[in-house]
């Protein structure tokens, strides 16, 4: 019996729709990264992009547990002296909630050309509408996997800033 090696011509891609309402950010990102990478398929091959397209809606309603919403910061550096920039997740979730999910998923993908190609198949939208209905995405229910274990410690941006 020989080991099957997936060829690029054998790859089939599907479209998945994920609702991020009430789902923990990190658990959502790990499930989405698994779909983008193709690890859920029997034809997975680490050197090929065998993953599917994923559309995430309701990004503004994603949940962070504990005090992460107020204390965690998104950090980047320009490469120049004094070029460190810090932005709190409260501000990120108010202004661009899509960026929080994209950054979390990007951290769970390979850091090379293959990972960048996988990230292009991720589409994130703050509201519940998306322009990909023509692709007829299948609904991926991750509520049971990615729901918060302790709902008392899970916070959305609406709970922290009620007037936002």
**Nearest by Cα to 98 from 148, 56, 143:** 56
Domain that holds residue 33: 14-160
Query: Residue 50 pLDDT more than 70?
Result: yes
Q: Please name which of 55, 41, 54 lies closest in space to residue 11, comparing C-alpha atoms.
A: 41
- Does residue 5 form part of some domain? no
Q: Is residue 142 part of a domain?
A: yes
84 domain-assigned: yes
Average predicted confidence (pLDDT) for the chain: 94
Q: What is the pLDDT of residue 150?
A: 85
Within a domain: 1: no
pLDDT confidence of residue 147: 85
The answer as to whether 74 is a domain residue is yes
Q: Establish if 9 belongs to a structural domain.
A: no
Q: With the CA atoms of 17, 20, 23 and 29 taken in that order, what torsion angle do they form, in degrees rounded to the nearest 10?
A: 70
CATH number for the domain that contains residue 139: 3.90.1180.10
Check whether 164 has a pLDDT greater than 70: no
In a domain, 8, yes or no: no
SS3 116: helix
Answer whether residue 7 is part of any domain: no
Could you tell me which residues are beta bridge partners of residue 155? 64
What is the average pLDDT across 3-20? Answer: 93
Domains: count for the chain: 1
> Global pTM?
0.92
DSSP code at position 23? -
The pLDDT score that the predictor gives to residue 119 is 97
């Amino acid at each position: 019996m020989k080991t099957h090696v997936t060829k690029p011509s054998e790859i089939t891609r599907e479209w998945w729709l994920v609702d991020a309402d009430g789902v923990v950010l990190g658990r959502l990102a790990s499930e989405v990264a698994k779909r983008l990478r193709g690890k859920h398929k029997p034809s997975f091959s680490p050197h090929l992009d065998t993953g599917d397209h994923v559309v995430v809606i309701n990004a503004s309603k994603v949940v962070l547990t504990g005090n992460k919403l107020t204390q965690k910061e998104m950090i980047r550096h320009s490469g120049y002296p004094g070029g460190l920039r810090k932005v709190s997740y409260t501000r990120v979730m108010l202004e661009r909630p899509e960026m929080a999910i994209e950054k979390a998923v990007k951290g769970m993908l390979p850091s090379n050309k293959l990972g960048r190609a996988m990230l292009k198949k991720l589409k994130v939208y703050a509201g519940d509408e998306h322009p990909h209905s023509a692709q007829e995405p299948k609904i991926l229910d991750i509520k049971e996997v990615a729901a918060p274990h302790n709902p008392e410690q899970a916070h959305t941006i609406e709970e922290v800033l009620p007037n936002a």
